[in-house]
Structure 1
Amino acid sequence: MKMNRSVKIVFADDSDIHHFLLESLMSKFVRLQLLIKAKDGEELLHDLSEIQEIPDVAILDLHMPNMDGLSAAKDLLLRFPFVKIYGFTSSSDEKEKEAMLSSGFYKVFPKNKLRELLTELSELP
């Protein structure tokens, strides 16, 4: 099966380094289209209300100012029930990861595995 459809991504993380890394790595994955990158969940949801596109995937950091990843995921799933939400966290706390998964996150990746996360997204149908 040939996969040409782009995977539309929104990204929220309060780290400038991770914004830079995401943009650098995304150029290697032609199917991935970055719709929005935001510093927190509140900014992400605001920016989403300004565009006409529906994301396929959201990548959310757990700990962010103003609105954390858990709260943003809850709002995202209400608005876009079919969006796949991937956690992106430096937390090694298993209880936090479990909370993410039980809140509707599809999968959780550690921040040092961004390339692996993007590889998985590029292989989505």
Structure 2
Amino acid sequence: MAKPEFFITPGYGERLLEQLHYAQAVKIGDRVEISGQGGWNDELEIPESLEEEIAQAFRNVERTLAAAGAGWEHVVHVNSYHVGGFPPEVNATMARLYRHYMPDHAPIWTQLGVAALGLPTMRIEIRVTAILP
């Protein structure tokens, strides 16, 4: 088995490593797994708009994948965790961003409603698996 390599997303990932002692991504061979990414900025602030929070979470997934040498084009599996249920803008925004970030393929996807996430104001967290060529 290949030795795991751990990666820290510049900015918020460094802050989370210091505060909570965890990495943002791990690569084992051709497989990249990332920690759940919220819609936070580098100061761990969450936007008021749910659509902007989702869009920021997608950008954070992109940043974290890049730290490990991967991109959305390599994503095969998505888990998304949602506080507050699934109002219409959740699926509409998720589908629009899937089409934007992965225009040439559709990943498998598991959506879960949860009571709470890591920060009190978070409403979404996205975790992905990517396979490198």
Same fold, TM-score > 0.5, yes or no: no
Q: Which has the higher strand share?
A: 2
Q: Which has the higher helix share?
A: 1
TM-score, normalised via structure 2 length: 0.34
TM-score, normalised via structure 1 length: 0.36
